A and B are shown apart, each in its own frame.
Chain A
Amino acid sequence: MNIEERLLKGDKRACARLITMLESNDMEAVEILKRLYKNTGNAYVIGVTGPPGAGKSTLTDKLVKELRKKDKKVGIIAIDPTSPFSGGAILGDRIRMNDLSLDKNVFIRSMGTRGSLGGMSRATWGAVKVLDIFGCDYIFIETVGVGQSEVDIVKTADTVLMVMVPNLGDDIQAIKAGIMEIADVFAINKSDLDGADKTKLEVEMNLDLNENTDYRPPVVKVSAAKNKDIDVLLEKIIEHRRHLEETNKLEERRIRNNKMELLKMVEEDLMSLILDKAVKEDLLERLARDVTLRKTDPYTAKDEILKLVVNE
């Protein structure tokens, strides 16, 4: 049996190997996804984001266990930062999900961000398709909500779950500024600690400023460590899904997400095409020199580079 047939049969090794191939930009894997794309579309994607240490992995573990009670097949993609110095990473999200390892209907994959030029979003979107074909009903993408490409990734989920914790202090400001708008459901985790009510209030007050009226993101206090109110949180996520489906917004959202994915891929491919050529032909070096020596101006030089890929 080839890898394609094995994936369709739900073989974990095939699933794992395809994700590796996509991560290394292997064209054979892309060809497989072209053929199997028609088999995607069943999975519902939940993006889990929030500051480091908020309990995203622990909470994901508990939500998945809740979904397993409903006999859903689940995939998890857990993204952790790659060290910009060495290019290596320690991916530790599995520590919180160890009891899921042996479940036949759960697949967990850790990924490093591999630097902004590493094509993380493309690899993640590819992995989501693989897990969809593998037969997952739900796919979780866990990522710290910092950095543009990580925000881009979590944005393309069907439901974005923002995990907050009490006593974030000034951090809440930073989160407010960047990423609060993209959340569909808020979880105030670690509600076993003091201050959860205050955090909930702060989030609610922020939401009051929002003009979007047809859907107000719910704010749920939970404790992942104590396994408290996880069912309530899952219900809110499913309610959001229902809202999207009933108002026809799910398709709208997926069109928006696919637009983003397409643009991102075109952007990356164009960029590497241009860089490849410009660097190989020493064009970049020569033009930069000419601009510095005032032999030409940067705008003309830029057009010169663009001519490498554009005809008119």
Chain B
Amino acid sequence: MDRPIRVLVAKPGLDGHDRGAKVIARALRDAGMEVIYTGLRQTPEQIVAAAIQEDVDVVAMSILSGAHNHLFPRVVNLLKEEGVDDVLIIGGGVIPEDDIPFLLESGIEAIFTPGTSTKDVIEFIKNNLKR
């Protein structure tokens, strides 16, 4: 691919913890990716609209508030409804081990929890792009 990987970094829901999202955004930029950062308090609908207009390769969401089981799958489903099937969807934040299988099952392709090395995230994205 002779173009930079484009990533939407988004914070769904009312959660105001944005440090992790910003750390990830900066790390991806430093890895040569174009990061579209939409800021806090995005609805799943807004995230999907932005992902479509920006034609991103990756949707990367961060939640620390506990609302992940509701919001992450909702974004996956809305993207599906729009017929978007070539976007890699990943998530991260404070997410209990027990919830991870359900999230993976519902279409989030990887979950990164506190202590994640940004290197692993970059590696995962590069190895799992869908186009």
Interface residues of A (CB under 8 A from B): 12-13, 15-17, 19-20, 23-25, 82-83, 85-92, 94-95, 98, 101-102, 107-110, 112, 114
Contact = CB atoms under 8 A, between A and B. Distances in A.
Given A20-B55, A98-B42, A86 B34 contact: no
Given A20-B3, A20-B55, A112-B4, A94 B33 contact: no
B33 to A, nearest CB: 5
A87 B37 contact: no
B125 to A, nearest CB: 12
Nearest to A109: B53
A91 B35 contact: yes
B14 interface: no
Residue with the greatest number of chain A CB neighbours at <10 A, chosen from B45, B46, B53: B53
Contacts of A15: 53
B36 interface: yes
B53 A91 contact: no
A101 B21 CA distance: 20
A121 B3 CA distance: 16
Q: Please tell me the size bucket of the interface on B.
A: 20 to 34
A251 to B, nearest CB: 31
Interface of B: 2-4, 6, 25-26, 28-39, 42, 45-46, 49-50, 52-55, 82-84
A90 B46 contact: no
A36 to B, nearest CB: 18
B28 A13 contact: no
A110 B28 contact: no
Given A20-B3, A24-B2, A91-B37, A101 B53 contact: yes
Contacts of B53: 12, 15-16, 101, 107-109
21 contacts: A12-B52, A13-B52, A13-B55, A13-B82, A13-B83, A13-B84, A16-B52, A16-B55, A20-B55, A88-B32, A88-B34, A90-B26, A90-B29, A90-B35, A91-B37, A94-B37, A94-B38, A94-B39, A94-B50, A101-B50, A107-B53
Contact of A102 (B29, B36, B38, B49): B49
A90 B25 contact: yes
A90 B25 CA distance: 7
B54 A17 contact: no
Nearest to A85: B30
